[in-house]
Amino acid sequence: MRLDIVTLFPEMFEPILGASILGRARARGLLDWGCVNPRYFSRDKHRKVDDRPFGGGPGMLMMAEPLAAAVESVRRQGSRVILMSPQGARLDDRKAAELARESHLVLVCGHYEGVDERAVELCGEELSIGDYVLTGGELAAMVVADALARKLPGVLKKEDAAESESFASGLLDFPQYTRPRVWRGREVPEVLFSGDHAKIAAWRRRAARAATRRKRPDLLARQVQESRRSV
């Protein structure tokens, strides 16, 4: 997949998208990404990209033209162009999987107090990572890139890929343990040493349901709603 990020701060991305699993995905050609800076497209002699809002009000807005020119420099036929915005549809695991099936995505990062509405309209959709406001769309775009990268075929090892299905199932993960068997007096549940794979699987299902009920009861409620909807 190709990901183009429209941002005034391209230097923010390499340290995050270049490290760890995302760095490896890029090295292996699974996720090809780059940044394009609207400032480069500003025709003003001072490379200005922001201005004061018509009608008054505090703060500055990103101007439509440099943003549009940056988007147009990378967009292709059929590209999804997505503006990171607290007013967008919420990112969740299902959305991340959906985005991972695209061949080309353009993520647009706004800054300042907002973006000229005509440039917002140029983007096909708005996407939010949660109900809070950030100083810019960059961190949100990196969250999207990370969540969708781990859905790309070959990015995670096989066992890990199955793990992500557990969120898709609407339950939290079951608790897991590694060595030592006893740590600060706390023992690993006995069943995990039984060698009985059916018994272990049953314990894990129960533990996943218990964890979900305790930490995220809203997920169980949603599961009930979804099974009702499907009848």
Which residues of this protein are in contact with ligand 58G, per CB under 6 A? 84-86, 110-111, 114-115, 120, 128-130, 132-134, 136-137, 140
Give the nearer residue to ligand 58G in terms of CB position, either 86 or 175: 86
Least distance CB 130 / ligand 58G (angstroms): 5
CA distances for 18 relative to 22, 114, 145, 226, angstroms: 6, 28, 11, 38
Determine the 3-state secondary structure of 228 from DSSP.
helix
CA distances for 151 relative to 21, 159, 176, angstroms: 12, 13, 22
Distance CA 10, CA 31 (A): 17
Least distance CB 134 / ligand 58G (angstroms): 4
The single residue listed with the structure tokens 């009608």 is 55
Give the nearer residue to ligand 58G in terms of CB position, either 97 or 120: 120
Least distance CB 97 / ligand 58G (angstroms): 18
CA distances for 10 relative to 101, 137, 164, angstroms: 25, 12, 30
Give the nearer residue to ligand 58G in terms of CB position, either 106 or 140: 140
Residue showing the smallest CB distance to ligand 58G in the complex:
110
Give the nearer residue to ligand 58G in terms of CB position, either 65 or 173: 65
Distance CA 128, CA 150 (A): 19
Give the nearer residue to ligand 58G in terms of CB position, either 4 or 138: 138
Give the nearer residue to ligand 58G in terms of CB position, either 90 or 157: 90
Cβ atoms within 10 Å, residue 183? 11
Query: For 86, phi and psi rounded to 5 degrees?
Result: -65, -15
Least distance CB 156 / ligand 58G (angstroms): 24
Least distance CB 86 / ligand 58G (angstroms): 4
Least distance CB 5 / ligand 58G (angstroms): 13
Q: Which amino acid is at 173?
A: D
